[in-house]
Amino acid sequence: MKKIVVTGGAGFIGSNFVRMLLRKRSAAKVIVLDKLTYAGNLDNLAGLNKDKRFKFVKGDICNAKLLADILPGADIIYNFAAETHVDRSILEAGSFVKTDVVGTYTLLQKTLEYKVPRFLQVSTDEVYGSILKGSFRETDPIKPNSPYSASKAGADMLVRAFYKTYGLPALITRSSNNYGPFQHPEKFIPLFTTNAIEGMPLPLYGDGKNVRDWIYVEDNCRAIDLVGRKGKIGEVYNIGAGDEKTNVYIARKIMELTGADPSLLTLVSDRPGHDRRYSVATRKIKALGWSNKTAFDEGLKKTVRWYRQNENWWRPVRDGSFRKYYRKMYTGRLKEGRKL
């Protein structure tokens, strides 16, 4: 039986990935290592502990001693664990450097020590920075602009260095923005969906015309799985659906789908260093046999339906510390905001 270690498996993409693995690979044992930060949530893995092939360990990827218990005998490690929200990285960058850079370094060091034969680093298209025309290829230089993307870029550089210097059998995926079930309501699509359901204002940064290439989370999970099995060691693979949308387009779609009052849409002061557009060339992942399955409008419909049907999942997440964060992030901005 294959032993698969998934760090950050109680987060958004990680939990979708773990569910997919257990569904598709009958001969796999999946161990999730997750610190359960504010973004980690055992509800994301609800029901899986009935499966004998699944094990959850609460812990930090910076904890080398704990890694010594978990990594020996692993066939592959998928590193999803990270601090992930750009806005939070602007408020406080230290935890991003700690987990995304030092945590990845600790994992790499232990992967080497225990001779784990495959290590997949889950990275992001944000490491390339903004691009106004065309798309970034895997060979393009990385130019991150936020403390989040800089920390992820630091991790990518370490992965590369461990491959080049020690021959560590590593791969990197760089995907575009994901959306779908179980995404924390701090992120754009779930924030706007849950605010719309609540009848709260939808705070659009800047002019609302920033562009992201949105990929439905299950399509990204299939691509990561494919790279994990068939990808060439030492290589980077971009992953994107080619579904570029402006934020204002998505906000309007969400209002349509939820039946929210259009006057909720509010232009607020921009995010500092806000990347205008992300876009990646995906020839390489397609050559490996992947193609995107979910068109954006269809995926958004499914996602909004999921949030409507799973209020018991997101209501507790929007409580407590999230309210404090929300006030800090949005109250002043919304007061000075203007209707579109």
In the bound state with ligand TYD, the residue whose beta carbon lies nearer, of 70 and 217, is 217
Exposure string for 179-214, b = 16+ CB within 10 A, e = fewer = bbbbbbbbbbbbbbbbbbbeebbbbbbeebebbbbb
In the bound state with ligand NAD, the residue whose beta carbon lies nearer, of 276 and 339, is 276
Residue 210 makes contact with ligand TYD by CB under 6 A: yes
CA proximity to 185, closest of 325, 294, 45: 325
Whether the CB-CB separation of 170 and 121 falls below 8 Å is answered with: yes
Measured CA angle at 337 (ends 332, 340), to 5 deg: 160
125 is annotated as an active-site residue? yes
Footprint of ligand TYD on 84-123 (CB under 6 A): 86-87
What does each C-alpha distance from 21 to 68, 78, 218 come to in angstroms? 24, 12, 11
* Active-site option among 125, 156, 186, 213: 125
Residue 12 makes contact with ligand NAD by CB under 6 A: yes
Among 81, 255, 268, 285, binds ligand NAD (CB under 6 A): 81
In the bound state with ligand NAD, the residue whose beta carbon lies nearer, of 266 and 282, is 282
Residue 232: exposure state from Cβ atoms within 10 A (0-12, 13-18, ≥19): exposed
Q: How far apart are CA 45 and CA 230, in angstroms?
A: 26
92 is annotated as an active-site residue? no
Residue 37 token pair: 């930060």
Whether the CB-CB separation of 262 and 225 falls below 8 Å is answered with: no
126 is annotated as an active-site residue? yes
Smallest separation (angstroms) from ligand NAD to the CB of 339: 28
Q: Which does 11 bind (CB under 5 to 8 A by kind): ligand TYD, ligand NAD, none?
A: ligand NAD
Q: Which does 191 bind (CB under 5 to 8 A by kind): ligand TYD, ligand NAD, none?
A: ligand TYD
Q: Candidates 31-39, 188-196, 227-235, 268-276 — which segment interacts with ligand NAD by CB under 6 A?
A: 31-39
Residues carrying an active site annotation: 125-126, 148
Q: Which residues bind ligand TYD (CB under 6 A)?
A: 86-87, 126, 177, 187-188, 191, 203-205, 210, 212, 247, 271
